[in-house]
Copies of this chain bind each other. A is one copy, B any other.
Amino acid sequence: MKGNVIVGQSGGPTAVINSSLAGVFRTAIDRGANKVYGMRYGIQGLLDEKYVDLSDYIKNELDVEILKRTPSAFLGTCRYKLPAIHEDQDVYERIFEILDKLNIECFIYIGGNDSMDTIKKLSDYAILKGHPQKFVGVPKTIDNDLALTDHTPGFGSACKYIATSIKEVIRDGNGFSYNKQLVTIIEIMGRNAGWLTGAAALAKGEDCEGVDLIYLPEVAFDLEAFTEEVRELLKVKSTVFVAISEGIRLADGTYVSEAGGGSGYVDAFGHKQLTGSANYLASMINNELGCKTRAVEFSSLQRSASHLASRVDINEAFMVGGAAVKAADEGDSGKMVVIDRVSDDPYQSATGVYDVHKIANDEKLVPRNWINEKGTYVTNEFIDYVRPLIQGDYPCVMVNGLPRHLYLR
């Protein structure tokens, strides 16, 4: 490589998105890149000429290790969709002007479906106008909804956080169960794809009874059938744990969080608020069955808890970052690096490269036959698919009692 590399991060953060960044940086340096630039806040910041020289922040091997363990986008992220090429060429001209000025040879973008759309458009535009830069995407999303890749970096660590936290929530709930009934509803991220929620099944094992019910957005949710399931469970056990996707919808497409006739509630300021689905269902079960209920949301921690990241996930994220630089350096453009599962037992994976025109904006859902017939749990096939992705740990670099992160001031 003779020129420079620029890398950006886009979309929702994950616990390992910076491990991909570290992989890009390391491979770019190894392959002789002169400079490795980082876009601040993705393509949106780049358009304002916001970028940094990553060597100013990643100064040694320890920094690389800490970057791998730093959650959320080190460079900052954005949600910015490029216009179609025929709609507005000015923005493209602006981008290529900056890339030329920085002597960029490889443009690497770490993100989800929208980011792959950016890679597609920029590589198309480069071909159209004869620009020499190569554009390669690195997959990233906790939602695991990208097509063609076996799974996405970020997904495994989110699963590990969710399964670990659910084990702790179940412990907490069961501790108080004497002569009492308690129904706990745990809400997990995922508007359309239930991959993360399905990972709740991993909590079950020799030392934990696990959750009793799992509801994914892939199957229409029935309030009455749900109430009956819980009622039946309470006849044989005192605590019931339910995992739901934030995106579960009724048969008519209404989100469960909007199901209450009132469609949420109007707060003291006159604003319509959506209570979460878990809050809604907890309230409903309390009303219908009279037992105590509890709603738990994991909020942004499920995508940012790098202190519980999986070793498989951090390593794969690093690997796809490096593979993207290699592909671009070898002349690939308009491509996304994917993870291929080479073997299940022992688990092995390798990178592949796919044409991004085949990938962009395709949402991969949980197959219906990986969910049981009633739509109340995932199958063993689902569990066998996810389990390898949560294996192993990267011990945090602890400083003064807390995990150390790499910080871009």
Contacts and interface: CB of A to CB of B under 8 A. Distances in A.
Contact of A168 (B267, B279, B284, B304): B304
Contacts of A305: 165, 168
B307 A308 contact: yes
B297 A299 contact: yes
Interface string A170-188: 0111111111000000000
Interface residues of A, number: 84
A41 B178 contact: yes
Contacts of A262: 267-268
Contact of A71 (B79, B168, B269): B168
B283 A77 contact: no
A300 interface: yes
Nearest to A41: B178
B304 A403 contact: no
Instruction: Count identical subunits in the complex.
Output: 2
Contact of A304 (B45, B172, B284): B172
A392 interface: yes
Contacts of A300: 168-169, 172-173, 294, 296
B266 A405 contact: no
Interface stretch (A117-125, A202-210, A247-255): A202-210
Nearest to A77: B175
Contacts of A401: 160, 163, 202, 310, 387, 390-392
Interface in A33-77: 40-41, 44-45, 50, 70-73, 76-77
Nearest to A18: B171
Nearest to A306: B168
Given A307-B308, A308-B307, A402-B202, A280 B268 contact: yes
Interface of A: 9, 13, 40-41, 44-45, 50, 70-73, 76-79, 160, 163-165, 167-169, 171-179, 202-203, 205-208, 259-262, 265-269, 271, 273, 275, 279-280, 283-284, 286-287, 294, 296-297, 299-301, 303-308, 310, 387, 390-393, 395, 398-407
Given A164-B403, A269-B287, A273-B275, 13 more contacts: A172-B303, A173-B300, A208-B407, A259-B268, A265-B266, A265-B267, A267-B283, A271-B286, A294-B300, A390-B401, A390-B402, A393-B398, A395-B395
